[in-house]
Amino acid sequence: MNDLTELSLQRAIHGLRQGDFSCRELVEAHLDRIQRLDIDLNAYLFIDGEGALKRAEIADRQLAEWRKSRQSEPPPLLGIPIAVKDILCVKGMPCTCGSKILEGFVPPYDATTVEKLLNAGVIILGKTNTDEFAMGSSTENSAYGVTRNPWNRERVPGGSSGGSAAAVAARLALAALGTDTGGSVRQPASFCGVSGIKPTYGRVSRYGLVAYGSSLDVVGAFGRDVQDVAIIFEQIAGADRRDATTVDLPVPPIQLGQNTDLDSLRIGVPKEYFIPGMQPEVEQAIRQAILHLQELGAVVEEISLPHTEYALPVYYLIAPAEASANLARYDGIRYGQRISAETMWDIFYRTRGKKFGAEVKRRIMLGTYALSAGYYDAYYGKAQKVRTLIKQDFERAFQRVDVIAAPVAPTTAFPFGEHTDDPLAMYLEDVFTLPANLAGVPALAFPVGFDREGLPIGLQLMGNYFQEELLFRIAHAYQLTTDWHLRSPMST
pLDDT digit string, tens, across residues 234-286? 999 999 999 999 999 999 899 999 999 999 999 999 999 999 989 999 999 99
Distance CA 207, CA 218 (A): 11
CB atoms within 10 A of CB 480: 16
Task: Point out the residues that are catalytic.
Answer: 85, 160, 184
Lowest model confidence (mean pLDDT) among 63-72, 157-166, 466-475: 63-72
- Residue 193 near residue 151, CB atoms below 8 Å: yes
CA distance 156 to 196: 17
The CATH number of the domain covering residues in 4-264+402-486: 3.90.1300.10
Region 44-64: mean pLDDT is 98
Residue 1 has pLDDT above 80, yes or no: no
CA distance from start to end of the chain: 18
Dist CA 162 CA 139 (whole Å):
6
Q: What is the pLDDT of residues 279-332, one digit of tens each?
A: 999 999 999 999 999 999 999 999 999 999 999 999 999 999 999 999 999 988
For residues 46 and 126, the answer to whether their CB atoms sit within 8 Å is: yes
For the question of whether the overall pTM of this predicted structure is more than 0.85, the answer is yes
Mean pLDDT calculated for residue range 468-474: 98
Q: How far is CA 221 from CA 79, 262, 289, 360, 430, in A?
A: 18, 25, 22, 24, 18
Question: Which pLDDT value is given to residue 490?
Answer: 60
Determine which of 42-46, 153-157, 200-204, 486-490 has the lowest per-residue pLDDT on average: 486-490
pLDDT grade, residue 128 (50/70/90)?
A: very high
Whole-angstrom Cα distance, residue 241 to residue 251?
A: 16
